[in-house]
Amino acid sequence: MINVVNNLSKSFGYARDQGARPTCLAFSISDINMFANSLSAYLSVEYLCFHAARNMVGWKIEQPFTCNAVMKAAREAGQPAEVSYPYDLNDQSKPLMEPPSFGELKKVDCHYGVGDVNDVIDAIVVGKPIIIIISLTQKFMSPEGGVVVDEPKPENVYPGLHAVLVVGHGKMAKSNEQYFYIRNSWGTEWGENGHSWVSYTYLCRHLAGVIGI
């Protein structure tokens, strides 16, 4: 049992689904932007993807966006409401299409840091969500009872990285180990309505970077 200390998940609504596209970072930064501007409505991930692609020389269809490209897009271009320019689950070429012009755009200035679990703790204990960039394991794909079970064996780590948003923390009742509540972008079928707990130990093994406000 995990004793919850802080849970910001209700500030973000349901967990959206990135579909088959490599847009996890754009979803996470969109949620950070939404939180930073005290909004209750989603911001346009598609609009952010277009400007992130423009920030990458020679961006190609199905190519993941870099942290710098998405952060710059959120800081300089900003985002309209999601309803104004909806996300397309399947169209990999959408970032190449010029979006319409919008009046009010919400912006956020994020900062990147190397993988340090203490940065995650420092942010979440004061009520700030923070993006974590992690390597994925087999157990991450299907959390058990709302918890991503740790796998110490290196052969169970997949290539590539994934971005999710830490929206809460707590402690395991028996071990007193710190746990972090994460919001994924794989829809509500993953974990508990798109959320799950990961342990301090898991992050120490798999954390590659953080993005905060």
Question: What is the per-residue pLDDT across 38-47, written as a single tens digit (0 to 9) for each?
Answer: 999 999 999 9
- Distance CA(80)–CA(191), nearest Å, equals 29
**Domains along the chain with CATH numbers:** 2-212 (3.90.70.10)
* DSSP 8-state assignment for residue 175: T
Tell me the average pLDDT across 150-159.
80
Side chain identity, residue 213: I
Report how far Cα 170 is from the mean position of its chain's Cα atoms.
19
pLDDT of residue 131: 98
CA-based nearest residue to 133, from 22, 45, 36 = 22
* Largest Cα span, the chain: 54
**For the ranges 62-76, 86-100, 114-128, which has the lowest average pLDDT?**
114-128
Structure tokens at 17: 């689904």
With bands split at pLDDT 50, 70 and 90, how would you rate the model's confidence at 212? Answer: very high
Taking only Cα atoms into account, the Rg of the chain, rounded to an integer number of angstroms, comes to 17
- Distance CA(51)–CA(70), nearest Å, equals 8
Percent of the chain with pLDDT over 70: 100
pLDDT higher than 80, residue 154: no
Structure tokens at 132: 């974590």
Cβ-contact 56, 96 below 8 angstroms: no
What are the pLDDT digits (tens) for 58-80? 999 999 999 999 999 999 999 99
196: left (phi over 0), alpha (psi -120 to 50) or beta: beta
Tell me the average pLDDT across 49-56.
97
pLDDT of residue 157: 84
With bands split at pLDDT 50, 70 and 90, how would you rate the model's confidence at 159? Answer: confident
How many CB atoms are closer than 10 A to CB 154? 8
Element (H, E) at 179: strand 178-183
* pTM attached to this predicted model: 0.94
What mean pLDDT value characterizes the chain?
A: 94
Tell me the average pLDDT across 103-113.
95
pLDDT of residue 90: 92
What are the pLDDT digits (tens) for 178-199? 999 999 999 999 999 999 999 9
